Amino acid sequence: MTSSPIDRLFSHLDQALRVSFAPAPAAERSRPGADAPEAELDEHERRDVAGLMRINHTGEVCAQALYAGQAATARTAGVRAEMQQAADEEVDHLSWCADRLRELDARPSRLNPLWYAGSFAIGALAGAAGDRWSLGFVEATERQVEAHLESHLDRLPAADERSRAIVTQMKIDEARHAELAHQAGAARLPRPVQGLMAVTADLMKAVAYRV
């Protein structure tokens, strides 16, 4: 049975509330590094690791919203289904980051509802531009996320095997999402658009690290 626009609207609102306020849903895959011993971090290291994992958690909140927005405005059912599947796969990342934040006695970003709303709007605009552009947005976004996760691996303490395992697997998954979007016919986004995306991501990371 095909859902109505009103049904889809309430579904998106429900997802926004759950992602922004409710505990992260259970992951389908086991958390990487969960069995590794907890590293002995000094207070400065712990705060830094918590800030990085808060960024990653917020990034996954944004990913949920971006994919939901794109699914809402996708031109074809096939692309709509691909966007929903990608969002479902990102739930694992959201759950893993939330778990790690709890272990570090840290909290997610207080601005997650704002990040979700803004990302949903951006995703909806990308979807409305057409499926090739929407896929291009996915590819460009995932490439940027892959690069920032690599920078986190350079920064995380070598002894923190739990955080490093999570970030490593996330990086592998994001690279796969980018490649799938490319193979599906993603259009290459203009450089000014990619530049604006990078600036927006840098702003999010700077704020989420602290708030």
Per the CB < 8 A criterion, the answer to whether 66 and 103 are in contact is: no
Would you list the DSSP string of 134-161?
HHHHHHHHHHHHHHHHHHHHHHS-TT-H
Whichever domain contains 137, its CATH number is 1.20.1260.10
- The per-residue pLDDT for 130 is 87
What does the block give as tokens for 108?
């997610």
Closest C-alpha to 119, from 191, 166, 194, 69: 69
Tokens 């849903």 identify what position? 25
Residue 189, classed as helix, strand or coil, is: coil
Asked whether residue 160 is assigned to any structural domain, the reply reads: yes
Closest C-alpha to 62, from 99, 26, 13, 20: 20
- Please report how many Cα atoms fall inside a 13 Å half-sphere around the Cα of residue 80, on the Cβ side: 9
Distance in angstroms (rounded) separating the CA atoms of residues 101 and 119? 22
Q: Across the chain, what does the average pLDDT equal?
A: 86
- Model confidence at 169, in pLDDT bands (50, 70, 90)? very high
Asked whether residue 25 is assigned to any structural domain, the reply reads: no
Asked whether residue 125 is assigned to any structural domain, the reply reads: yes
Which DSSP state fits 211? -
If one counts the domains in the chain, the total is 1
- By residue range, what is the domain housing residue 85? 5-12+41-208
pLDDT at 20 over 80: no
Rounded to two decimals, what is the model's pTM? Answer: 0.85
Q: Tell me, what amino acid is at 115?
A: W
Percent of the chain with pLDDT over 70: 86
- The per-residue pLDDT for 24 is 67
Asked whether residue 27 is assigned to any structural domain, the reply reads: no
Asked whether residue 20 is assigned to any structural domain, the reply reads: no
- The per-residue pLDDT for 3 is 55
- The per-residue pLDDT for 205 is 93
Asked whether residue 103 is assigned to any structural domain, the reply reads: yes
Query: How many C-beta atoms lie closer than 10 Å to residue 23's C-beta?
Result: 9
